[in-house]
Structure 1
């Protein structure tokens, strides 16, 4: 691991200790509603604070974009170096004791992702990727699946649950994708969904209206594992459109063919 990756992993493990400590006594966790179906807890804030403290100790000039505390500007040009943090991806799962949640930390330089960590402390699975160095799970190389098409593929997704204005078009997309597949799964943590695509556990994944901290690390995991990540139009502008399609190359292209017809005024790329 590079020195920067070591720091990112240290930060992820610090947040993992926080989340695991609270997970054994969820009845004592203070929960607030940010918006409809969007919750935040003491755990999210404490885990995020642990990550930021670790990163700031080594990289005090770098900018930070964090889900709970927002943007932290960099100093002396450090705004071109940015950490993108989700301290607890899958908060709703976590608060219900559902074992599918993770910590996500990504780093980008001048708008280009360079490093990603997705850590599942409950199952002790650490997914890491550095640009040009491949992707790993617990220090073993991982690759996307080599499935040749969508037939028989296992696909992951996320159902629009915060803003349901796109629910009808999403359901039409689901109907188009699910045909011929082995099934579609909606576990509830986008960071882990991307990590599972990178590890070949899922053949593909798509979701609408994500936030950068949901996919910054995971998208790099997929591409470094030999996969493809685009928006619905097939471009790499997904940090702008926030709609993503990921998978092994052939599965990803097959998914795009089924999803593109739904693009329009009500559903931008």
Structure 2
């Protein structure tokens, strides 16, 4: 039987490349920067322009499909995952990077059916790296097959994470405390390039062993999540429970062993779910 979603995935790759062109052009110019939930949660006119472009293109080609987009949700749309084919889009993952011209900016497109990830496309625009993952078909970067690392000893691991956009003292305290606990395990180091999607792709590539973060959204994880699992990795909740796309938290690791070990060290930061009002 032919793959029913391959055409959608090919279209997602085309759209991600088009969006990347817009990003590369916009980054050369003066930006109009606006603030969302906190002084560190930024949005630009380019985020909104790209999302509108992607949404109108998808709706024209696949009018029956559902859609969750970062900027649509910011404008008041509901973020509810249903069984219908759903495109989950972050037009610019790494907006703060984009604003500062820090060279890691991604367009992330995830696609779910029956609430399960079917494919993901993450385009690192400034590096011109196209990461793709399709359920049962493997993960690739610019056509090269990806494979997670084999390092299961946490004391020999390199992790990736972010500080997040919340600046409330209690949240910052827990985030820093988690970093301290992991560094004192001890681990080799902690990195982060400022975008959840690219951080997860680094795990899929095998250059980082695991990624964890709390406070991100379904559109940060939906594209890269399947790239990690198709490269041989695992997704897990930070509590050690099964991964939930709407939970706003994740461990993406090369193995269940390493994911569970990280889960034992970190304290949970409570964030409202994506599908809660």
TM-score (norm 1): 0.90
Counterpart-to-counterpart distance in 2, 1:212 and 1:255:
21
CA distance in 2, matches of 1:268, 1:46: 27
- Tell me which of 255, 260, 267 is aligned to 1:253: 260
In the alignment, the residues of structure 1 paired with residue 35 and residue 174 of structure 2 have an alpha-carbon distance, to the nearest angstrom, of: 26
User: C-alpha distance in 1, partners of 2:50/2:147?
Assistant: 29
Matches of 1:267 and 1:51 in 2, distance apart?
Answer: 28
CA-atom RMSD, angstroms?
2.3
Indicate yes or no: 2:51 matched with 1:69: no
Show structure 1 runs of 4+ deviating over 4 A: 71-74, 266-269
Aligned-residue offset at 1:267: 7.9
CA distance in 2, matches of 1:268, 1:106: 21
**Corresponding pairs, count:** 261
State the partner residue of 1:39: 42
Q: Which moved more, 1:233-242 or 1:62-71?
A: 233-242
How far residue 53 of structure 1 moved from its aligned partner, in angstroms, is 2.6
Alpha-carbon offset, residue 268 of structure 1: 9.7
How far is the alpha carbon of 1:125 from its aligned partner?
A: 0.2
Q: CA deviation at 1:251?
A: 2.4
8 A contact 1:16–1:121 mirrored in 2: yes
- Kept in 2: contact 1:48–1:68 (CA 8 A): yes
Secondary structure of the corresponding residue to residue 238 of structure 1: coil
Residue segments in structure 2 that go unaligned for 5+ positions in a row: none
The change in CA–CA distance for 1:237 and 1:251 in structure 2 (over 3 A counts) is: closer
User: What per-residue deviation string (whole Å, max 9, x for no partner) do you get for residues 72-114 of structure 1?
Assistant: 899xxx9711100000000011111100110000000111110
Aligned pairs for 1:166-181 within 5 A: 166-179=171-184, 180-181=186-187
Distance 2:236 2:91 in 1: 24
Superimposed CA distance per residue, residues 195-214 of structure 1 (whole angstroms, 9 cap, x where no aligned partner):
11111121111101111101
Inter-CA distance 126–255: structure 2 relative to 1 (3 Å threshold): same
Superposed, which structure 2 residues align to 1:32-181 within 5 Å? 32-36=34-38, 37-70=40-73, 71=77, 80-162=84-166, 164=168, 165-179=170-184, 180-181=186-187
Would you say 1:222 and 2:228 are equivalent positions? Answer: yes
Tell me the alpha carbon deviations over residues 134-177 of structure 1, each in whole angstroms, 9 at most, x when there is no partner: 11111111011111211121110011322534221222211111
Q: Matches of 2:17 and 2:98 in 1, distance apart?
A: 17
Structure 1 residue 188 and structure 2 residue 194: aligned? yes
Find the residue that maps to 2:224 and give its secondary structure: helix
Q: CA deviation at 1:238?
A: 2.6
Structure 2 length as normaliser, TM-score? 0.87
Alignment partner of 1:197: what SS? helix
Measure how far apart 1:46 and its partner are: 1.4
Contact map agreement 2:217 2:246 (CA 8 A) in 1 = no
